[in-house]
Amino acid sequence: WILMVTTRAPTNIAVIKYWGKRDEKLILPINDSISVTLDLNHLSATTTVAVSPSFEEDRMWLNGKEIPLSGGRYQNCLREIRSRAGDFKDEKRGIHIKKEDWCKLHFHIASYNNFPTAAGLASSAAGFACLVFSLAKLMNVNDDLSQLSAIARQGSGSACRSLYGGFVKWAMGNDLNGSDSVAIQLARETHWSDLVIIIAVVSSRQKETSSTTGMRESVETSTLLQHRAQVLVPGRILQMEDAIRNRDFSSFARLTCVDSNQFHAICLDTNPPIFYMNDTSHKLINLVERWNRHEGTPQVAYTFDAGPNAVMIAKDQKAATHLLQRLLFYFPPPPENEMSSYVLGDKTI
């Protein structure tokens, strides 16, 4: 026999960034972070997990290519889920797995991303959230989403926020074992449905410094990072929670842009410095800043993760339409390309 579960998880975009760990193994952060989860139809991961007595080892395929499961992160997630497994019974097929027997079985895992892997679009967030959720369904795990988020966190920090839709906070927690370093939903996906997210893919090339390496180097060498994590972010988190609660776009946009720019300033303050944004990213920032200033009140927020691609959050559909017109004006696409897959490249504004 074979049992299979398939689930889909969206990616999330941090508006107050996670950057720096206090525990590398358990993936415990040095500050709280807040994100917005994209809707499921766009940037998401789809993961099928299968279990059968005929499988001799755990194996995984990512976008059709087998990848080693030896990495500690996958093993940590598998171990945690196995330890919480429940009994499984399918009378019709005569399958009965006792909870203690799951550790004798092996899994085959196939995961697909529908967006450029490792181009700074947090594909690992969707990937690990989806993996953990699929495994939990397969093994009848009874934990709630916040407990599952603590497992996804051990795959990739930002993954814990993808278990929920809407606006999500990852509370850094205090416990040494990480039990309170979990994601909680701040607002449902319907709370602020005017917002429109536009992602400008500046480059689909793999980033040079992974988030994991980059934040380790920042923790070791940036003198600004502790000040950011301990003094600046805690206040900003409270303000961002208020802005989201009140659907206050001006504050939301200001905090989002300031936090993104500060995260990249930390990257510059790292030794050797890390450059995630490129000239096109800087031009996009200028475009939005100038437009917001011209309007007198923010129409669009921008934020950049560990890569040059811009995530722009427009106030409403009207602002999104204007933004797209501006982008198309400054970065005219070749006619044969579709906008959805159009890479901006290094053009000048």
Q: Is 303 in the site for ligand DP6 (CB under 6 A)?
A: no
Burial track 310-319 (b if 16+ CB lie within 10 A, e otherwise): bbbbbbeeeb
Secondary structure of the chain: what % helix, strand, coil (to 5)? 40, 20, 40
**Binding ligand DP6 by CB under 6 A: which of 11, 47, 149, 158?**
158
**Binding ligand DP6 by CB under 6 A: which of 33, 218, 280, 292?**
33
Backbone angles phi, psi at 227, to 5 degrees: -65, -45
d(CA 115, CA 197): 15
**Binding ligand DP6 by CB under 6 A: which of 48, 52, 147, 212?**
212
| Residue 122 near residue 158, CB atoms below 8 Å | yes
CB of 207 to ligand DP6, least distance (A): 10
Q: Is 117 in the site for ligand DP6 (CB under 6 A)?
A: no
Q: CA distances (Å), 37 to each of 42, 196, 250, in order? A: 11, 12, 20
Q: Is 124 in the site for ligand DP6 (CB under 6 A)?
A: yes
| Residue 59 near residue 110, CB atoms below 8 Å | no
**Binding ligand DP6 by CB under 6 A: which of 306, 311, 312, 327?**
306
Q: Is 156 in the site for ligand DP6 (CB under 6 A)?
A: yes
CB of 119 to ligand DP6, least distance (A): 12
Measured from the Cβ of residue 212, the count of other Cβ atoms closer than 10 Å reads 16
CB of 158 to ligand DP6, least distance (A): 3
Q: Looking at beta carbons only, is 50 or 120 nearer to ligand DP6?
A: 120
Q: Looking at beta carbons only, is 27 or 187 nearer to ligand DP6?
A: 27
Select from 86-94, 102-110, 151-159, 321-329 the region that touches ligand DP6 (CB under 6 A).
151-159
Question: E strands of 24-175, at which residues?
Answer: 28-29, 33-37, 44-52, 59-62, 65-67, 88-90, 95-97, 106-113, 167-170
For binding to ligand DP6 (CB under 6 A), which residues are involved? 14, 17-19, 27, 33, 122, 124, 156-158, 211-212, 305-306
